[in-house]
Amino acid sequence: MANLGDELREEREAKGLSLDDVRRSLGVPVHYLEAMEGVDSPLVADAFYVVPFLRRYADFLGKDAATCVARYLAEVVRKEKEPSPRVANPPAVPTGWVVGGAVAAVAAAAVAWFVLL
């Protein structure tokens, strides 16, 4: 079974509609439409706005809005439960660079102090 986002995108494309066509018809911002279709969008922070827009979008495409919302929320929860990839050994800053930077900062401050006095 395809995820809801793929299903919505396929339905929209089957009707020959672009995201901009849907935006103009429904007044839903494109980044929300992209989020509903599964495109990662940093502009969409939570489901507060997505759910009402999804109801509108589902009705527009002739789909059952309640079923689409339930599927969307289930998919979001499932995605949030997936473990995030971890970096095995994050790159460390060489100690020499840290010490050298600190020495340079102190030296610059000392020079500025003596020049300005």
Q: Which domain holds residue 65?
A: 4-81
In a domain? residue 38: yes
Q: Are 44 and 32 in contact (CB under 8 A)?
A: yes
What is the three-class DSSP state of 58? helix
In a domain? residue 53: yes
Q: How many domains does the chain contain in total?
A: 1
The predicted-structure confidence for 22-52, as pLDDT tens digits, reads as follows 999 999 988 888 888 876 655 555 667 788 8
The predicted-structure confidence for 56-65, as pLDDT tens digits, reads as follows 999 999 999 9
In a domain? residue 116: no
Q: To the nearest whole percent, how much of the chain has pLDDT over 90? A: 29
